[in-house]
Amino acid sequence: MPTLLAAFSDVIHPWMTGIIFFGTFVGILVGALPGLSATLGVAILLPVTYYLSPAEGLLLLLGIYTGGIYGGSIAAILLNIPGCPASLMTTLDGYPLSRRGEGGRAIGIATVSSFIGGTVGVLALIFISTLLARAALSFGPAEYALLAFFGLSAIVVVVAKSVLKGFISACIGLMLATVGMDPLVSVERFSYGNFDLLGGINYIPVVIGLFGLCEVFTQALETRQAAAVRQVVRRVFPSGDDLKTILRNSFHPCWIGTLIGALPGAGGSIASIISYNRAMASDTNPERFGTGITEGLVASETANNAAVGGAMVPLLTLGIPGSSVTAVLLGAMLMHNITPGPMLYVNNPHMVYVIFIGMVMANVAMLVLGIAGAKIFPRVVNLPRTALLPVIALLCIIGAYAMSSSYTDVVIMILSGLFGFMLKQLGIPAGPLILGLILGPIAESNFRGAMELSDGSLSIFIRSPLSCGILALTMLLLASPLIRRLIAKPNRPAKAERR
Amino acid sequence: MKLLTRNSDTLTGLLFFCLSLVLLFETRRFATAMETIRAIGPQVFPNAIAGTMAVLSLILFIRGLGKPYAPLGNSGALSRKAALIAGLTCCIASSIVLLNLLGLVLWMICFLMAGQYILGERSWRRMVCLALGIAAVMYAIFVIGLSISFPVGMLGF
Amino acid sequence: MKKRALLLAGILLFCGLSPAMAASYPSRSIQFLIGWDIGGGSDQAGRTLCAKAEKYLGQPFAIQNLPAGSGAKAYMAIAGAKPDGYTIGLTTSTISTLKPLGRIPVGSEDFEHVILFNSDPGGIWVHTDAPWKSLGEFLAYAKANPERVSVAASTPGSITRFQMMALEQEGGVRFRVLSQQGGAANGLTNLAGRHIDAAMGTPLEGYALYTAGKIRPLGFCSEERVPMMADVPTWKEQGIDVALSTARTVIAPKGTPKEVIDTLYEAFRKVVTDPEYSKSMEAKGSNVHALTPEETRQFLREQDARFAALIRNTGAK
């Protein structure tokens, strides 16, 4: 108890709080700019932490991590570009809201949802981390492969008006994921001797092109007469009704986000898709999802911030970095002689408490900065179209170039933009493509690894209760549109016909 | 031709069917001889995905044949739209060459001016203000704030 | 007459200036190329080194990530850069493997070497409850069960893959290899979850799981024991003559003047010999070195030979 109080007073100290707020601010900025991610923020500020005390350095980076995931949703809502893959689902409901002029309200809802999800994630980290860690370890290659397929099926069912087109989109994404060096054997696939392609197609330029540049093209074609909807920013903090909806719909996203975030390598994107899908499945009017409703936004944002707390579980308890950001955090911790693992809790409980309280404080900082900024951010989008579109295009180019200083990425971004524009005309959704690109490597290398382990026997996929469970859920998921159609047919034949 | 571009479904189905055939052909390049059910080769996944895509796009095409005729738009509007997109794309693609030549700051200013002009802005005052202002903000955030390296142009910045 | 006088004056001026130019190195920011993704282990090592060296050099570093081909793009960029000391970069063991694998036309002999500052030993880990108490027992079991013992290593071309192949070659065994993307973390996680028999990984990567009582190391393939886990024997001690670590060095384009190299070496050496820095690196299980340019060149020559032989003997591609 005295250690807890000591840690508490350390964090509440103005200097420490200032560092946390600064880190969160940098995180939000970096997350909101397309092409940059929290990984960049933490990697660049890592050497700076050398001059700070271990607690200060770590909390600075944790602030960036927390802010980064949230910042991604701002770009998703205002520009339709997910700032990080976890914000992909936020574009579905966030962007329609901002197109209707309710960008401020959308950001307010996203901020509060992120706060709730993030705080619950930290609470899970504090109280049930050993349980979560044990659950995370029981995921082997077979389970990871099945989870990846589950995530893909989820987005196809959620996003696509036509499941057929959704699956074609997913196939394109999976195909793009195979470009580069084969993960198991030394064979080049589809890279034709190009160094940049050898490492595979990076998802960042594809996301920027597919969502951002494509949107630039689409809006450029809108006739000048179409009145640009101005953002109405009257009250940013969610109204009573909105708050009630948020609180009512946060429960499931919280535990889904925390659980899936605790799986190394899975993270926020799978968490937010499964959460969104669950919200849609349990809703009486699932067609509303994707048109700009609060429930959809809450489902996505709560889950991806809960995943932050979840991702810290394997890092703190087992020293396993689940993502590139946590890998940098691990490096920072080790640099400051903080060795994660169960010994940390025994040898250095003060540091552990500082991390816990600091993360809660980072969430508070995110809430404060987000609500404060929510009045300003949407105004940026109020620029006239002739000014806004070139700026977005500029952001797209710089974003595609920044991470790896490669013009190949810029070319990929441009091609994705044109391709995305074509897909839009043909009615093919872009979400499954991105997810195929992100989940493809996980699905393929784990599937092939599992087969290698099981001597070629497919039984490895039904050997553990966990894999059976995921398999059953996937099949249920894929069958759900059919089931829904069968149920709807006697009552509303016209609706079935429209498909 | 009319049959094939009957509506968006047939067009999509046809396009992606052809694409999947090309991909299936390309996978031969890296197909390895060594392949058992245990050691799944590098060509299995691409083949499976391309094959699935072929089947799905075929189904889509056939389904589209049963749907009403709904072409994507008349040729006049289409060509004007295509011109605008082509213009924007050229502007963006030229960054690949110009960024190295002009350096970040100059290129940003030129790009923003050109972009606004293509989209119809004609007030020079507004164009210059926006270009200079945004270029300054971007420089401050990316180069000074985040110290990300960008190409340095002929003039040295 | 005038022309000749002008020419003479020019030459004299130039001679007068060039030591002055060399003495004023560095006079602007130095570009440091890192051929790996931002945030990765090598990136972190490089960034930390640069950040601390800035105050000794008096000029900032402009770090650029060129993550393509496990360093290939960065090496090619450095090879083609002007040898004026304003473009340098980081290498890992891939400087010795990419040329024999036929991916790039340059190898370590095509660069000037500044310093070898860091090395991470590799090792093999098993589950805490595994029946093998030593590397010898493990290899004996593997020999009796060819291609049945599953070992996780990273993707082909990576150092853990080479370490595993060297172990297979020296031990006369064949493993069932599970390829893991994203470094050794996934493999060690799978090991902790009992999905596989063994996994390759550095002391740093496995340390937390080790203290959690989930896995334990059978040995590390370094020349000496790792200070972080001093009770773990090396492979050499257990009869396997393999010592392959990820050695990180700094290189410059061929033809960079000796004064420039020495200035850089001095600055980096000061960073590395700082007791705080070396202590924090050793706490991570990394070894800290300060090999001079000559020693670095010698080391890399030996490393080249070792890897070339390994690639030839195992037919790796």
Biggest CA pair distance of chain A: 70
Taking the CA of residue C225 and the nearest CA in chain A, the distance in Å comes to 20
| Residue of A172, A394, A401 lying closest to B112 (CB–CB) | A394
A498 within some domain: no
Q: Is C31–B149 a contact, with Cβ atoms under 8 angstroms apart? A: yes
Taking the CA of residue C298 and the nearest CA in chain B, the distance in Å comes to 33
Hey, is the C-beta of B92 within 8 angstroms of any chain A C-beta? yes
In this structure, what token pair is assigned to residue C190?
A: 């799978």
A289 within some domain: yes
Query: What are the Cα distances from residue A309, in Å, to A120, A128, A404?
Result: 8, 11, 28
* Other CB atoms within 10 Å distance of the CB of residue A354: 24
- CA Rg value for chain A: 22
Closest CA to A59 of A14, A28, A21, A30: A21
Closest CA to C114 of C57, C29, C37: C57
pLDDT at A495: 45
pLDDT at C212: 82
Exposed, middle or buried by CB within 10 Å (0-12, 13-18, 19+), for A439?
A: buried
Taking the CA of residue B39 and the nearest CA in chain C, the distance in Å comes to 10
A29 within some domain: yes
Spatial strand order of the sheet with C150-154 comes to C176-180, C150-154, C198-200, C123-127, C215-220
How would residue C231 be classed by pLDDT, with cut points 50, 70 and 90? Answer: confident
- A406 SS3 class: coil
Q: Is C64–B149 a contact, with Cβ atoms under 8 angstroms apart? A: yes
Calpha distance A434→A298 (Å, rounded): 21
Taking the CA of residue B149 and the nearest CA in chain C, the distance in Å comes to 6
In this structure, what token pair is assigned to residue A416?
A: 């994705």
Q: How far apart are the first and last CA of chain C?
A: 65
| Residue of B8, B72, B111 lying closest to A394 (CB–CB) | B111
Q: Tell me the pLDDT tens digit for each residue of C184-212.
A: 677 888 888 888 999 998 887 888 888 88
Domain with A448 in it: 2-486
| Residue of A40, A164, A455 lying closest to B60 (CB–CB) | A164
Q: Is A335–C39 a contact, with Cβ atoms under 8 angstroms apart? A: no
Chain C neighbors (3+ CB pairs < 8 Å) = A, B
Determine the Cα angle at C152 with ends C150 and C157, to 5°: 125
Hey, is the C-beta of B58 within 8 angstroms of any chain A C-beta? no
Domain C26-120+245-314 has CATH 3.20.80.10: no
Calpha distance A80→A445 (Å, rounded): 31
Q: Is A221–B84 a contact, with Cβ atoms under 8 angstroms apart? A: yes
pLDDT at C2: 64
Please report residues of C whose CB lies closer than 8 A to that of B147: 62-63
Please report residues of A whose CB lies closer than 8 A to that of C317: 186
pLDDT at C141: 93
- C31 SS3 class: strand
pLDDT at B28: 84
| C-alpha A422: how far from chain center | 25
- Listing DSSP states for C231-285 in one string gives TSPBTTTTT-----EEEEEEEEETT--HHHHHHHHHHHHHHHH-HHHHHHHHHTT
Please report residues of B whose CB lies closer than 8 A to that of C62: 147, 149
Q: Is C212–A318 a contact, with Cβ atoms under 8 angstroms apart? A: yes
Spatial strand order of the sheet with C111-121 comes to C61-65, C30-34, C87-91, C245-253, C111-121, C287-291
| Residue of B49, B59, B95 lying closest to A174 (CB–CB) | B49
pLDDT at A223: 62
B120: left (phi over 0), alpha (psi -120 to 50) or beta: left
Q: What is the dihedral of CA B111, B112, B114, B117, to 10 degrees?
A: 170
Chain B residue nearest residue A185, CA to CA: B42
With b for 16 or more beta-carbon neighbours within 10 A and e for fewer, the B117-129 pattern comes to: bbbebeeeeebee
Please report residues of B whose CB lies closer than 8 A to that of A386: 116, 119-121
A493 within some domain: no
- HEC string of A90-139? HHHHHHHHHHCCCHHHHHHHHHHHHHHHHHHHHHHHHHHHHHHHHHHHCC
Q: Tell me the pLDDT tens digit for each residue of B51-105.
A: 999 999 999 888 888 877 776 666 667 788 888 888 889 989 998 888 888 888 8
- The DSSP symbol for A213 reads I
In this structure, what token pair is assigned to residue C234?
A: 């090396």
In this structure, what token pair is assigned to residue B145?
A: 């704030």
Calpha distance C28→A84 (Å, rounded): 35
Q: Which spans in chain C are helix H? A: 2-23, 41-57, 72-79, 94-97, 135-144, 159-171, 185-192, 203-211, 258-273, 275-283, 293-314
pLDDT at A497: 43
Please report residues of C whose CB lies closer than 8 A to that of B149: 31, 62-64
A496 within some domain: no
Taking the CA of residue B135 and the nearest CA in chain A, the distance in Å comes to 9
C-beta separation of A248 from A269 below 8 A: no
Taking the CA of residue B112 and the nearest CA in chain C, the distance in Å comes to 26
Size of interface A-B (CB pairs under 8 A): 151
pLDDT at B1: 58
Q: What is the dihedral of CA A107, A112, A113, A116, to 10 degrees?
A: 160
Count of structural domains within chain A: 1
| Residue of B37, B57, B89 lying closest to A168 (CB–CB) | B57
Chain A neighbors (3+ CB pairs < 8 Å) = B, C
Q: Is the peptide bond before A82 cis (omega within 30 degrees of 0)?
A: no
* Preferred mutation among A201, A318, A347, A411 to probe C, highest tally of C CBs within 10 A: A318
* Preferred mutation among B26, B88, B141 to probe A, highest tally of A CBs within 10 A: B88
Calpha distance A248→A273 (Å, rounded): 19
Taking the CA of residue B155 and the nearest CA in chain A, the distance in Å comes to 20
- Listing DSSP states for A390-404 in one string gives HHHHHHHHHHHHHTT
Please report residues of C whose CB lies closer than 8 A to that of A184: 155-156, 177, 179
Hey, is the C-beta of B79 within 8 angstroms of any chain A C-beta? no
pLDDT at C128: 92
Strand C30-34 to strand C87-91: parallel, antiparallel, or no bridges (unpaired)? parallel
Chain B neighbors (3+ CB pairs < 8 Å) = A, C
Which numeric CATH code is attached to C123-229?
A: 3.40.190.10
Taking the CA of residue C214 and the nearest CA in chain A, the distance in Å comes to 9
Calpha distance A80→A170 (Å, rounded): 19
Please report residues of A whose CB lies closer than 8 A to that of B32: 185, 187
Tell me what the pLDDT averaged over chain C comes to.
85
Query: What are the Cα distances from residue A102, in Å, to A69, A108, A429, A450, B99?
Result: 21, 10, 24, 47, 36
Give pLDDT < 50 ranges for chain A: 492-499
Q: Is B147–C63 a contact, with Cβ atoms under 8 angstroms apart? A: yes
pLDDT at C75: 94
Calpha distance A106→A102 (Å, rounded): 6
pLDDT at B69: 75
Strand C215-220 to strand C61-65: parallel, antiparallel, or no bridges (unpaired)? unpaired
What would the mean pLDDT of B38-54 be, rounded to a whole number?
A: 86
| Ranges of each domain in chain C | 26-120+245-314, 123-229
Closest CA to A318 of A118, A84, A138: A138
- CA Rg value for chain B: 24
Give the type of residue at A418: L
pLDDT at B38: 67
Calpha distance C305→C97 (Å, rounded): 10
Share of chain B above pLDDT 70, in %: 87
Q: Tell me the pLDDT tens digit for each residue of A121-133.
A: 999 998 888 888 8
Instruction: Work out the angle between the directed axes of helices A163-177 and B8-26 (0-180°, nearest 10).
Output: 30
Please report residues of B whose CB lies closer than 8 A to that of C63: 147, 149
Taking the CA of residue B19 and the nearest CA in chain A, the distance in Å comes to 10
A164 within some domain: yes
